[in-house]
Structure 1
Amino acid sequence: MQEAMRIRHQRLKLLALIAIFALPVISAWVMVQWRVGIPEQRTAHGELAPDVPTLVQWPLAEYRLAEEEGDWLLAFDCSVACAEEADRWWRLHRALGREAPRVTRLRIGGEIDPLPGEVATEWLDIPDWQAPGRVWVIDPGGQVVLSYGREVGQREVMDDLSHLLRMNPDRRSLPERIGD
């Protein structure tokens, strides 16, 4: 009798252990299949801009980007209140902390000298997708990831840019893979 109780107790332990590992998988499957419990909140503050061409297609005067390939760009139109806009994005760049070297600021327009870490250029031709004070986050491949209007707060751009940098590790710092 006691042997049967011990075997039953061992089986219950095994079933409990299986349930501990199976329940999260089953609940995740239910969430995905029936869309239950998945948050619908918006995480990006900027807007996607599929109609904006890649950076190499922008009608810009000559400019030289950072020496290192693979930087993200924070491009901004500086045709209105340029000194304030340049300072605003310089402060955001500094607030990125240790991630700041991965980002280059591209100022388009304005009559002031470039601030540290900034590349300045001019529009050769004003494209129809451009607006005064517009800000774009551009990935290392030159694709526009997010676009912001002039009224955007620095905090929103900072949140989005920090998230993008965190989700896309710097390839330059990854160890080389052997055998590729």
Structure 2
Amino acid sequence: MSAPRAVRHPRFKLLALLAVFVLPLLVAWVMVAWRIGIPEQRTAHGELVPDIPALAEWPLAEPHAPLEGGDWVLAFDCAGSCEALADQWWRLHRALGSEAHRVSRLRIGGDSQALPGEVVARWSTPPGWRRPDQLWVLDPRGEAVLGYSAGVEPRDVLDDINKLLRMNPESSVKSARQVAQQ
């Protein structure tokens, strides 16, 4: 009598089962050890700026109380063509669409009047980390997250802000605070 087929090749089944679980681990180890197949691309267009102090510590002449509402802040130093920069970042703010209420704009410098939704301030003493026409994205706590040098493409900034807003959904604490104010 011959053995039933189910018991005939138990080693093959065991090896196949081990391969299903061990092969992905082996492939992952090879990718990490020899840097094969790991993407080298960046996901953010701006530079991380851990050396920049929180917004509350910035040497601004005017108070920045209107920005302390728990919003993300798009702060830019207006040194050169201030009207063009203010308009450019206003348009970017409008391009955020339904997420625009989560972002505030802070313009530092310039002689023109504030655009809608913009707070204007001036440096009391320009800090050493300041660069003319630079742009910073600050989180709701006022910590600088990303910095952009002069001449950055607004589309790149918009991509980064959309990613940040998508990865950090609106908090229920802020929603409760808005309901309490109404």
Unaligned runs of 5+ in 1: none
Contact conserved, 2:67 with 2:73, CA < 8 A, in 1? no
Which residue in the other structure is 1:44 paired with?
44
Deviation at 1:27, TM superposition (A): 2.6
Moved more, 60-69 or 6-15: 6-15
Which residue in the other structure is 1:123 paired with?
123
What amino acid is the match of 1:113?
A: Q
1:4-153 alignment runs, 5 A limit: 4-8=4-8, 16=16, 19-20=19-20, 22-60=22-60, 61-66=62-67, 68-69=69-70, 71-153=71-153
Equivalenced residue count is: 175
Moved more, 106-115 or 13-22: 13-22
Which residue in the other structure is 2:180 paired with?
none
Superposition TM-score, scaled by structure 2 size: 0.79
How has the CA–CA distance of structure 1 residues 14 and 175 changed in structure 2, closer, same or farther, with 3 Å as cutoff? Answer: farther
How far, CA to CA, are the matches of 2:21 and 2:46 in structure 1? 39
How far, CA to CA, are the matches of 1:24 and 1:99 in structure 2? 39
Contact conserved, 1:92 with 1:154, CA < 8 A, in 2? yes
How far, CA to CA, are the matches of 1:42 and 1:76 in structure 2? 23
Superposition TM-score, scaled by structure 1 size: 0.80
What amino acid is the match of 2:157?
A: V
Deviation at 1:100, TM superposition (A): 1.6
How far, CA to CA, are the matches of 2:33 and 2:172 in structure 1? 38
Q: Deviation above 4 Å: which 4+ runs of structure 1? A: 8-22, 173-176
Deviation per residue, 1:27-84 (Å, 9 max, x gap) = 3343234432111122222122233222111101212234632x11110012322211
2:85 aligned counterpart, secondary structure: helix
How has the CA–CA distance of structure 1 residues 110 and 19 changed in structure 2, closer, same or farther, with 3 Å as cutoff? Answer: same
Deviation per residue, 1:107-166 (Å, 9 max, x gap) = 111222222222221111111211221101111222211111111110111122222222
Q: CA RMSD in A?
A: 2.9
Which residue in the other structure is 2:158 paired with?
158
Contact conserved, 1:64 with 1:119, CA < 8 A, in 2? no
Unaligned runs of 5+ in 2: 177-182
Which residue in the other structure is 2:179 paired with?
none
Contact conserved, 2:73 with 2:104, CA < 8 A, in 1? yes
Deviation at 1:18, TM superposition (A): 6.0
1:65 aligned counterpart, secondary structure: helix
Deviation at 1:170, TM superposition (A): 2.2
